[in-house]
Chain A
Amino acid sequence: MLLPVGNLSSLRLPFISGIASLFLTGAVTALALKSPSQTQQPAVASRAPFASSIPVGQGGTSVTLGSPPAAEAAQGGVNMVVLDPAHGGTDLGARGTGGIQESEITMEFAAEVRRALEQQGFQVVLTRQGNDNPSFDDRSAIANAQRGAVFITLHIASTGLPGTVRVYVNSDLPPVTSPNGFIPWDRAQAPYLGLSRKLGDLVQGMLMQRFKGSPDTAQTGTIRQLRTTAAPAIAVEVSSVVVNDRSDLDHMAPGVADAIARGVVAFKPFYVIPGTGGASP
């Protein structure tokens, strides 16, 4: 264990340079990972109907080493589901009777949904692990850094008929393409709206079968979380924190999880990711 002094001093230079290079690579990696969330991203020029021409994600995705090869992706499919247990930390979300907090219950639902999705073979990533509150942008960035991801944000409402579930997709955003073919970060959802609606309708259909009184198609809303998400993205809101007993909500979790998993499975063939050709303008 003990090294002779002379030996140590001869090791000092390589040791210092090793540390320095570690720092450098760390900084470069951090910058590279951050860039998709802050740079403008190229888009396909046209807003063609979904499945015939799918909006290409982002130039920034090339940074993500985990992206599957185009050939594999082109066969379709969803490679990853990003689950967002909404709120957290000081943001408790909706608060109901008997100390029920939205931020807490969304975590429970997320665990259940994750289990159901993993059983169907999907890779699942959560936007938060504990009781923290990442920003809207940080949550979106997790999906935006992936090719073939879908994004699902989970909420518990403060209103609505208890025992029902509503799925939302973002309402229309104005056309996003500019002459140089860039999508602004703050409107990242725009090219995915058609796909989001398809996913939303499929999941809502599954939910309606289980939870009577739920709508049969997805609703539209101007949801902040969805706007910056460059992936098919939906919000699922369960009614409500105003229940007599918390167990009323707990009992809904497996059904919600199963319906979401079935909806994503049904969506898989519609999500065709084009090859690398379309990625660069």
Chain B
Amino acid sequence: MTEPRMEPAKHPLNRPLRFWLITLLVFAVLGAAIFAPILGKRMKRAARLQQQSEEQARRELTQPIPVNPSDPRVKAKLFWLSDADNSVLAPVVVELPLSNDPVLRSKQVLNTLLAGPVDAELRTLPPDAVLLAFYLLPDGTGVADFSAALATSIPSGIASEQLAVDSMARTLEANVPQVKRLKILIHGQEVETLAGHVDLTGTFVVNADTGQTPANSAAAGAASKTSAFIAPPSPLTPDHRVVKLAQR
């Protein structure tokens, strides 16, 4: 008895079901169309973050930042971009254990600068660049030797290259008073330009060593200023203020 009753009931029940199913499907397609790009963006961001952390991990493996737990934790000032379009540097205060040894301290702050700020858009140096070595000459010239990626991965241009150099000079100025000048090498070699524009044949002024005033006063002013430049020494002009590197 129940069976024949069920049979005819099946069709009228099926019709609204199909209607709802189709409506649901339409909504699902619409929803997917709306949310897919958002989802895509999220996934890209997640991938980028993961890539960043992988890079960071790799850097930590290849280039151990010498951290000594007994080093005093210091409020270090690092110079990254203030915003992606503005092309101006702004100091960011980061609490770091920093060595009192100027060479170790320089390595620590430069490696932190390379690691980049939280927002990757505001970084000044390419993420794959590695600081290979840092020396401090007796006259106060810091020599920073970077992997080739510093030159090959940086966006070519006057603005981008100048900001890269300035961010290093300002960060050293703010944290390592012993470094008076900065010389940048690429894989142990002196190069003519960073990526076609900014001159790397000379040294960049980090801390003016006039002896009158310590150069710490310029925290805010430092953000917009460009590193002064010392051209390579010339044989015909004995200029005592020009740094002579050991071997060129």
Contact B156 A94 (CB under 8 A): yes
Contact B226 A221 (CB under 8 A): yes
Q: Specify which chain A residues have a CB less than 8 angstroms from the CB of B196 in the assembled complex.
A: 86-87, 91, 93
The main secondary structure of chain B at its interface with chain A is loop
Q: Specify which chain A residues have a CB less than 8 angstroms from the CB of B198 in the assembled complex.
A: 221-224
Which one of A18-26, A44-52, A61-69, A156-164 contacts B? A156-164
Chain A nearest CB, measured from B154 CB (Å): 9
Chain B nearest CB, measured from A93 CB (Å): 6
Chain B: which residue is nearest A177 at the CB level? B237
Number of interface residues of A (CB under 8 A): 44
B176 within 8 A of A: no
Chain A nearest CB, measured from B55 CB (Å): 20
Q: Specify which chain B residues have a CB less than 8 angstroms from the CB of A219 in the assembled complex.
A: 226
Number of interface residues of B (CB under 8 A): 34
What CA separation (Å) do A222 and B157 show in the bound complex? 12
Contact B232 A102 (CB under 8 A): no
Contact A220 B226 (CB under 8 A): yes
Which one of B17-25, B101-109, B210-218, B238-246 contacts A? B238-246
Contact A222 B239 (CB under 8 A): no
Which one of A121-129, A165-173, A194-202, A271-279 contacts B? A165-173
Contact B226 A224 (CB under 8 A): no
- For A111-152 the 0/1 string (1 means CB < 8 A from B) is 000000000000000000000000010000000000000000
Tell me whether A222 and B234 are in contact in the complex, defined as CB-CB below 8 angstroms, given that A171-B226, A173-B229 are known contacts: no
Which one of A6-14, A181-189, A243-251, A260-268 contacts B? A181-189
Q: Specify which chain A residues have a CB less than 8 angstroms from the CB of B158 in the assembled complex.
A: 155, 157, 166, 168, 221, 223, 235, 237
Of the residues B159, B232, B242, contact of A166 by C-beta under 8 Å: B159
Closest 10 CB pairs of A and B: A158-B155, A184-B234, A224-B199, A157-B157, A222-B229, A161-B85, A178-B237, A220-B226, A94-B156, A158-B157
A-side residues, CB < 8 A to B, are 40, 86-87, 91, 93-95, 102, 136, 155-161, 166, 168, 170-178, 180, 182, 184, 186-187, 219-225, 227, 235, 237, 239-240
